[in-house]
Amino acid sequence: MRILLVEPAIYTPAGLDKREMRPTQLISLTLPYLAAMVPPEWEVDLVYEVCEDLERDYDLAAYDVVGITTQTIQLKRTLELARTIRGLGPRVVVGGPATVEDDHSLVPVISRFSDSVVVGEADVLWQRLLADLARGELKKIYQSHEPVPMSDHPLPRFDLVDFSKIEAPHVLPSFTARGCPRRCTFCSEFLYSKWRYRPVNDVYEELIAYRDRFHIPRVVFRDDDFLVFPKRSNQLLGRLAGEGIEWGCQTDFNLARHPDVVQSALDGGMRVVSFGVESVREKNREFTEKTFFTIPEAEDLLLRLHEAGVETQVNVIFGFDWDDPDVFDETYEFAMRTKVSRLFLSVLYPIPGTPLYEHLGREGRLLEKRPQGIDDPLAVTFTPKLMTADQLVEGYLDVERRFAEADLTNRNYWLGKDLVVI
Ligand code: B12
Ligand code: SF4
């Protein structure tokens, strides 16, 4: 049997995007991880459409099955590819976060264009599906309501990645936990998986294999909140000290209250960290239930990490109910004071199923749902409280421009200013 696993490109309002949405030095975990569970007698190829021409360079008709991973933002391209590829003969199986979004509302759509849809986490189902396929008994939908086991995961098949098509320096993704124990009111993460950890030793062995077998001692942890549990963080980071592995992660400012974890992280190879500050205004953070740190604590931690040479990133969302037009200046000043290396901004987007969405719905302030498959990061889909939608977008663009033009010469960048790894 021959199988092709595909991560599609993204349609933007300007057309099919290649090599723009994310730096090509980075590859995502999904395909190498799924490939590792394919029976050894099968032939497997992987394609990242952001850096390869799938339709030109691959003989698609030669595969028995093509598996496509899809986030909602990739759905338009996924459906287009599924239709084309099925017309050429192979069976098409689709999985990924889009199958979960909005109470599985997209599954019937995906199902019309594919032979089989795997809903949600696939680790166990994927192996079952491949066995069914080999017997000629492929089912239309595979869905499990049980969280998959977190131990003894296979080593992702990075040996199948053609790194010559991906610019160096290379960074490999790993994850040590799925889901998130927090319940920030704007975030949909709870829809995707329950919070649970992989055994520390499994993670350690994986990272050593990245270093020794793939010769890449640089890792980005894809956990939603990597350092959220201090005791476990110390256990894992203690194992990494002295191993020569450098890494980045995203986590939360709870870290400010655990200086021992900060020290373990620095000793264990932390080079870049991304924090969700979400808002510099305490009232907004009360609404989001992110009250486990104060802005002065966040500032102290950011400066401590800056001094230690770590690249720091903060993520801010504009449009919460306590944001008025002054919030833009306050945010810019926060970023300058704390010497952050990168400032990632977004306009609040209410995701169906979240407490934020329900809050805005109750107040009659929801304007529209996100158009399927197209993500306009500047679309204001709700009525802001203390400013107009235009002020919100203009303020966002103004902070973005000012930060881009600011003198950032004393900032830290792990792999250079052009490589964003988180
Ligand atoms: C790392 C990450 C990124 C990275 C890299 C992208 C990547 N795909 O790795 C970066 C920073 C670039 C990124 C960007 C974005 N991301 Co992102 N990201 C993640 C994150 C934290 C981890 C993804 C990961 O590696 N998971 C581990 C792998 C193994 O899991 P998985 O891909 O889900 O695959 C499992 C199942 O879904 C299934 N499966 C997946 N594909 C397939 C295919 C087949 C055939 C089968 C059978 C099964 C299957 O099997 C796997 C094993 O169980 C997730 C949150 C999360 N915890 O999952 C968000 C998440 C995927 N991102 C999300 C979003 C919204 C985005 C952005 C659109 C944000 C933005 N507005 O810019 C962009 C899109 C950019 C793009 N696609 O190029 C959403 C997607 C929601 C949705 N419904 O689509 C998530 C779920 C976060 C969230 N809770 O909102 N992201
Ligand atoms: S915003 Fe981050 S910390 Fe909050 S629930 Fe989502 S993933 Fe977890």
Q: For the whole model, what pTM was predicted? A: 0.95
Same domain, 49 and 185: no
- Mean pLDDT throughout 339-362? 94
The span from the first CA to the last CA of the chain, in angstroms, equals 36
Query: How far, in Å, from the CA of 30 to the mean position of ligand 1?
Result: 8
Looking at residue 290, what is its pLDDT?
92
Same domain, 313 and 250: yes
Structure-block tokens of residue 51:
């850096």
- Mean pLDDT throughout 118-146? 94
Looking at residue 146, what is its pLDDT?
83
Query: How far, in Å, from the CA of 228 to the mean position of ligand 1?
Result: 20
Choose one of 189, 254, 277, 320 to mutate for the ligand 2 pocket test, by most ligand atoms within 8 angstroms of C-beta. Answer: 189
Same domain, 237 and 367: yes
Does the beta carbon of 123 lie inside 6 Å of ligand 1? Answer: yes
Q: State the ligand closest to the CA atom of 289.
A: 2
Residue nearest to atom 7 of ligand 2 (CA): 224
How far apart are the C-alpha atoms of 35 and 145, rounded to whole Å? 23
Looking at residue 184, what is its pLDDT?
96
Same domain, 122 and 220: no
Q: Domain of 84? A: 2-143
How far apart are the C-alpha atoms of 98 and 74, rounded to whole Å? 9
Same domain, 357 and 319: yes
Residue 154 domain flag? no
Judged against a pLDDT cut of 50, whether residue 411 lies above it is answered with: yes
Residue 64 domain flag? yes
Residue 421 domain flag? no
Q: What is the pLDDT of residues 7-32, one digit of tens each?
A: 999 887 777 876 554 555 678 999 99
Query: How far, in Å, from the CA of 183 to the mean position of ligand 2?
Result: 6
- Mean pLDDT throughout 264-285? 98
Q: What does the CA dihedral 214, 219, 224, 228 come to, rounded to 10 degrees?
A: 120
Does the beta carbon of 7 lie inside 6 Å of ligand 2? Answer: no
Q: State the ligand closest to the CA atom of 95.
A: 1
Looking at residue 25, what is its pLDDT?
66
Does the beta carbon of 33 lie inside 6 Å of ligand 1? Answer: yes
Query: How far, in Å, from the CA of 350 to the mean position of ligand 2?
Result: 14
Looking at residue 21, what is its pLDDT?
45
Output the domain CATH number for residue 102: 3.40.50.280
- Mean pLDDT throughout 305-314? 98
Choose one of 178, 183, 185, 187 to mutate for the ligand 2 pocket test, by most ligand atoms within 8 angstroms of C-beta. Answer: 187
Output the domain CATH number for residue 183: 3.20.20.70
Between the alpha carbon of residue 177 and those of residues 197, 224, 247, 263, 268, the distances in Å are 4, 8, 16, 21, 18
Same domain, 270 and 381: yes
Does the beta carbon of 121 lie inside 6 Å of ligand 1? Answer: yes
Does the beta carbon of 121 lie inside 6 Å of ligand 2? Answer: no
Angle between helices 389-405 and 327-337 (to 10 degrees): 20
Domain's final residue, options 95, 126, 143: 143
Same domain, 98 and 179: no
- The answer for residues whose C-beta is within 8 angstroms of residue 22's C-beta and 6 or more apart is 50, 420
Q: What is the pLDDT of residues 35-69, one digit of tens each?
A: 999 999 999 999 999 888 899 999 999 999 999 99
Residue 163 domain flag? no
Same domain, 60 and 201: no
Residue 21 domain flag? yes
Judged against a pLDDT cut of 90, whether residue 228 lies above it is answered with: yes
Looking at residue 287, what is its pLDDT?
95
Judged against a pLDDT cut of 50, whether residue 373 lies above it is answered with: no
Looking at residue 24, what is its pLDDT?
59
Looking at every residue in the chain, the average pLDDT score rounds to 93
Looking at residue 365, what is its pLDDT?
96
Query: How far, in Å, from the CA of 251 to the mean position of ligand 2?
Result: 9
CB atoms within 10 A of CB 61: 10
Looking at residue 415, what is its pLDDT?
93
Same domain, 116 and 188: no
Q: What is the pLDDT of residues 64-115, one digit of tens each?
A: 999 999 998 899 999 999 999 999 999 999 999 999 987 889 999 999 999 9
Does the beta carbon of 223 lie inside 6 Å of ligand 2? Answer: no
Q: Which of 15-24, 261-270, 313-322, 379-388 has the lowest mean pLDDT?
A: 15-24
Residue 159 domain flag? no
Looking at residue 374, what is its pLDDT?
53
Same domain, 226 and 107: no
Residue 258 domain flag? yes
- Mean pLDDT throughout 294-322? 98
Tally of domains in the chain: 2
Does the beta carbon of 71 lie inside 6 Å of ligand 1? Answer: yes
Does the beta carbon of 268 lie inside 6 Å of ligand 1? Answer: no
Same domain, 229 and 300: yes
Query: How far, in Å, from the CA of 225 to the mean position of ligand 2?
Result: 7
Same domain, 176 and 121: no
Does the beta carbon of 118 lie inside 6 Å of ligand 1? Answer: yes
Residue 259 domain flag? yes
